[in-house]
Structure 1
């Protein structure tokens, strides 16, 4: 079914919102919320209705619910004052008040797409569950694919639902899920995991990985860490050597920027803190574009838009700043000689986010690690660039 209102089209089967010819990127949960409001435009829907239908009855805070409604309004060019399309009815709930028509979806939009089974291939349907840490934080855990388990440690920044549809992350998820049962999770403070948390630190990042692995019931598995997820994975692998069968580190580092940077470089990083504090949550993506340009300077315009949106929807400005600061003092360099699992280290030569020298340091310090230099300037390797084939080939061979 495709719903039409104003100059928008909401194509439910293809999970696309368009304004004219422009595709508007939406977090999956926000898309589901919009669909529910439009489908029920003839009535006021209560908070309980939304939680039951969109969140499956899970406990949801008022701030989370409000942020998702605001995200719907933002996507439609609406706001809490105008309430042109989404109106709040005091003490009752919300209602979609635009005039809605329906049309059959275009044939080209049916079938295929993320989360569906490719012809003759592995079922890529994603399931999302939640586990709870010792300090009471709920973590979102996503699983795709079948086969030997591969756990990907969380990194800056993740959202298990939004990443699944992103042109930045979905090719990577599909590639891994076609060979393994891939388990990903959102770190505390971002994504579908709890945002209102007391402790955001490297120690809690490692403990959260332990919680996820135990909740999934895994005895032995391959472990993948990207960016700061590499340091988290190294710490876990040295604590639990009997459980990690293989270790893959991509664009990783052993020491945070405050440990290795010069005074001038530290001043530059501290300037980024100001950008996070002032510009992270703004509608104008100019502030977030600074970070996007560091992560994927070779990205297409669509990929950059998705990465900009990922930053905004995956966490709050305060949490982004807390996570950024937590990464500054990481130091797992003394742990490298204690890694026992066979290890593959991959790093882009022109990585502007994590210097190439950091990848070399990992390979030098971990016994018998295999090192692969990737001919790319991107911190996150993209599926359209030549380095993608080398990355995927090396990972498949290593896991086999």
Structure 2
């Protein structure tokens, strides 16, 4: 899908390329202010809260109120406004702002767009999904590609320095190029989206691999990203050479409940998650983190909870929780034709090992590896982590 330029008065904003021009002359706008401006223009149909604007700024949004006010002021100055002269960017209520100038959208040719090129070998880019949602993706390392589906929850700008994810990059980029992306509704991808259904998530993955220009590639699905990977491999067998699923499931908790007691337990679990996520209570967030990191310390659970707060809004977190518990790829898993490796912790506290057995039963050309671990997401100190990498490397090296 092509990108879009926004024209207002004598200004033209290319939100994908993060370029603002006035009468053809490019205006220098620092990245944080540019992120604020782009988000306001893209969501000009409504007022946008300062919390949402902060998240659109990535790691820069973690700064204090004074720093945010400075970036909002810089965005206004870039388009000829000021704190008191608000012709384009108007404060509509305390801590809520809206782009109010008339805007004309001008379609352009589709191209992968570089947002930043850090000093290391990672490049973050953006593409547009079929419904227009902006999806952020990153390319890390060199060598044959490995595509990793998005999963709960990520932030491309933060993940490489987050202890729970840093070792994944070291391992997954060893001798290969890792392609990953933020799910719609979180991280650097667009937060205000029409839906989070499985079809939307599969379409987002398809748009990312098209933007990267991949014809055929191995695909890694982690946690609920495993269901997305299964659905994609079933629908696009010509694209996926090998499939790796870890901590994955075919059916969400509400779908797989087979008795009244299991359905009651699933509903209680979801209601507890709803209540805890709304209040952001520390006791709930620590309990929630323990479901992902069974062997972690309380301090590590708190760090995971703090990380989650930076990745998405409370409202989106609730939508994710509800959609993921209703995922069901059991009917199409049998259509996966590529060789598949399923790796699962024997004592996964969040996804029962029975789900790995079900996937191995449903997918024809699959093999199952069970590892001794109590972590849903393998930690760097987990003895299962090097075992996971060894199985992954062996499996991918068998490609012809």
Give the TM-score of the pair, scaled to structure 2. 0.72
Measure how far apart 1:349 and its partner are: 0.5
CA 1:320–1:263: 2 relative to 1, 3 Å = farther
| Unmatched tracts of structure 2, length 5 or more | 1-26, 41-47, 74-82, 90-116
Instruction: Map 1:53-132; keep pairs closer than 5 Å.
Output: 53=32, 59-61=38-40, 62-63=48-49, 64-66=52-54, 90-91=83-84, 125-132=121-128
Whether the 8 Å CA contact 2:135–2:184 is kept in 1: the answer is yes
Q: Is the 8 A contact 1:189 1:315 kept in 2?
A: yes
Q: Are residues 1:178 and 2:178 paired?
A: no
Deviation of residue 342 (structure 1)?
Answer: 1.0
Residue 255 (structure 1) aligned with residue 251 (structure 2): yes
Aligned pairs (5 A) from 1:348-367: 348-367=345-364
SS at match of 2:250: coil
| Cα distance in 2 for residues equivalent to 1:177 and 1:328 | 31
User: Offset at 1:274?
Assistant: 3.9
Q: Relative to structure 1, is the Cα distance of residues 256 and 175 closer, same or farther in structure 2, using a 3 angstrom cutoff?
A: same
1:205 CA drift (Å): 0.8
- Given candidates 158, 165, 172, the residue that maps to 1:162 is 158
| Contact 1:259 1:331 survives alignment (8 Å) | yes
Rounded Cα–Cα distance in structure 1 between residues aligned with 2:277 and 2:303: 15
Q: Which residue matches 1:386?
A: 383
Pick from 316, 319, 322 the counterpart of residue 316 of structure 2.
319
Q: Deviations over 1:48-100 (max 9, x none)?
A: 98754565797223433245799989876xxx6xx7x876785489xxxxxxx
Report the more deviating stretch, 288-297 or 266-275.
266-275
Corresponding residue for 2:374?
A: 377
Give the drift of 1:320: 1.2
1:216 corresponds to which residue? 212
Q: Does the aligned pair in 2 maintain the 1:277–1:317 contact within 8 Å?
A: no
Alignment partner of 1:196 is 2:162: no
Match of 2:344 in 1: 347
**Alignment match of 1:235 (pick from 227, 231, 253):** 231
Partners of 1:70 and 1:177 in 2: CA distance: 23
Structure 1 gaps of 5+ residues are 1-47, 94-114, 118-123
Q: Any idea what SS the aligned residue of 2:202 has? A: helix
> Aligned equivalents of 2:138 and 2:168: distance in 1?
14
Matching residue of 2:149: 153
**Alpha-carbon separation, structure 2, partners of 1:177 and 1:58:** 34
Q: SS of the counterpart of 2:38?
A: coil
* Deviation of the 1:169 alpha carbon: 0.7
Q: Is the 8 A contact 1:73 1:86 kept in 2?
A: yes
Shift in alpha-carbon separation, 1:209–1:72, aligned structure 2, 3 A: closer
Distance (whole Å) between structure 1 residues aligned to residue 56 and residue 35 of structure 2: 15
Q: Distance in 1 between matches of 2:380 and 2:233?
A: 29
> Separation in 2 of the partners of 1:216 and 1:126?
14
Shift of 1:265: 3.7
Mean Cα deviation higher: 162-171 or 262-271: 262-271
Q: What residue in structure 2 maps to residue 144 of structure 1?
A: 140
CA shift at 1:389, angstroms?
Answer: 1.5
Give the TM-score, by structure 1 length.
Answer: 0.72
